[in-house]
Amino acid sequence: MTDLVVLSLERWDRVWRRNQHLVAGLLRTDPSLRVLFVEPAADPTHDVASRRVPSVGRGVSEVGEPAPGRLWTVRPTKWLPRRIDPRTDDRLASTVMRAASSVGMRHPLLWINDPGAVGLAERSGWPTLYDITDDWLAADRAEGERARAAANEARLLDVAREVVVCSPELERRKGAVRPVTLIPNGVDAEAYREPAGRPADLPEGRTALYLGTAHPDRIDVDLCEATARALGDRGTVVLVGPNLIGTDATLRLQRAGVVLLGPRAREHVVGYLQHADVLLVPHVVTPFTDSLDPIKLYEYQAVGRPVVSTPVAGFRDVTDSRVTIADDTSFPDAVVAAIAASRPFPHGADGPTSDWSERVAAMREVLARLADAA
């Protein structure tokens, strides 16, 4: 039996990202695998400072699907900021180790996304995989926060026995320091090509849709606003996904006619993509976004809808007649032209895709090496 503790940057919820797809695939293909999925710590102090209702973590709970009796989640609580409680990381590590012990895991493999969790790797001695999905050292952060992230990553790159990256650019950056394995993202292509009904809350008429988290490190709010105004009554810009851009930016988009629907469960996402007339990637182009391998590239390709994207990593590198690359100046007009020429699904949904099953098999090989070296 193989035990695996996954320290994720996202919660295990109905909006699936890389970790959920890979973990679910591993559980389906290995009946001996057991997984404790550690969600990001609740931070009630930060919630209060941000004028949000404070939340606290929760103990170990079993997740029914996709592997009853073999998948658990736990959410620790970070009670105080690190500047007040210098033992915060030790306390979080202890919580995870107790949670693993409570489900009978004595010496599991450890999979880390957040370099801030390096203390757990050092303290537990568990064989560690560092899976890098974003280059947070390139993100727009305060200098102190960036320095702390750099120090943590340097330690983790040293202690981790295996390092996986999701994009060629991350392979170039991190591979200059130590050997890494490239495992890009993917899509459940068959599911995305099975016809789905039109979601009831998708606006009537033609739509230009963005699927993903509206995050200030990624999305270009000015460009979304300009595109909505350029479309006018010819179509509606729709954002589907968690909204982290803040109140002021949200109000600006709404005044321009953008519809923000919020997050949708993974089983419902397909309908939004299939029934959009154009799919959008209005991302800023920065060293941070250049480190990404956008999952939406594979999702967009699977449904075959026309795509208009800024020249960001992944989209600018793909050879696909369905993808139009446009800079900030030409982006709105490119969307107007694409929406006028769009044909209904399933037109175009016959191009090549990279299935999650391929990525699961590659990750299984990495974990096998990690276990053999333990």
The domain of 177 spans 2-186+356-372
Same domain as 182, residue 142:
yes
Residues 113 and 182 in one domain: yes
**Is residue 123 domain-shared with residue 256, that is, in the same domain?**
no
Provide the pLDDT for residue 352: 72
Query: What is the model's pLDDT at position 90?
Result: 85
**Which tens digits make up the pLDDT trace of 323-351?**
999 999 999 999 999 999 999 999 988 87
Asked if residue 346 belongs to a domain, the reply is no
Tell me if 107 is assigned to some domain: yes
* Residue 65, in any domain of the structure: yes
In a domain, residue 158? The reply is yes
Mean pLDDT of 166-180: 95
Quote the pLDDT of residue 1.
61
Q: Which residues 6+ apart lie within 8 Å of 318 measured at CB?
A: 297, 301
Q: What is the pLDDT of residue 82?
A: 78
* Same domain membership, residue 361 and residue 249: no
Q: Single out the residue of 240, 248, 236, 253 nearest to residue 214, CA to CA.
A: 240
* Confidence bin at 358 (pLDDT 50/70/90): very high
Alpha-carbon distance 29 to 93, whole Å?
A: 29
Return the higher-pLDDT residue of 55 and 178: 178
Same domain, 201 and 247: yes
Q: What is residue 51's predicted lDDT score, i.e. its pLDDT?
A: 75
Q: Domain count of the chain?
A: 2
Question: Of 45-54, 129-138, 272-281, 356-365, which range is least confident?
Answer: 45-54
Q: What is the residue-wise DSSP string for 313-336?
A: TTTTT---TTEEE--TTTHHHHHH
- 180 and 193 together in one domain: no
Q: Are 285 and 311 in contact (CB under 8 A)?
A: yes
Q: Which of 48-52, 180-184, 287-291, 308-312 has the lowest mean pLDDT?
A: 48-52
- The answer on 25 and 7 residing in a single domain is yes
Say which range, 4-18, 140-154, 357-371, has the weakest mean pLDDT.
140-154
Task: Based on the fold, state whether residues 132 and 278 are members of the same structural domain.
Answer: no
Q: Do 149 and 293 sit in the same domain of this protein? A: no
Query: Does 331 map to a domain?
Result: yes
Q: Give ∠ CA 15-332-351 in degrees, rounded to 5.
A: 55
Do 76 and 109 fall within a single domain? Answer: yes
Position 350 in a domain: no
DSSP 137: G
Same structural domain for residues 51 and 151? yes
Give yes or no: residues 52 and 182 share one domain. Answer: yes
Rounded to the nearest integer, the mean pLDDT of the chain is 92
pLDDT above 70 covers a percentage of the chain that reads 99
Distance CA 242, CA 251 (A): 15
| 231: pLDDT strictly greater than 90 | yes
Give me the pLDDT at residue 349, please: 85
CATH number of the domain within which 29 lies:
3.40.50.2000
pLDDT tens figures, 189-225: 888 999 999 999 999 999 999 999 999 999 999 999 9
Average pLDDT over residues 130-135: 93
pLDDT in tens, 55-100: 888 899 999 889 999 999 999 988 777 777 778 888 899 999 999 9
Query: Is residue 140 in a domain?
Result: yes
Query: How sure is the predictor about 8, in pLDDT bands with cuts at 50, 70 and 90?
Result: very high
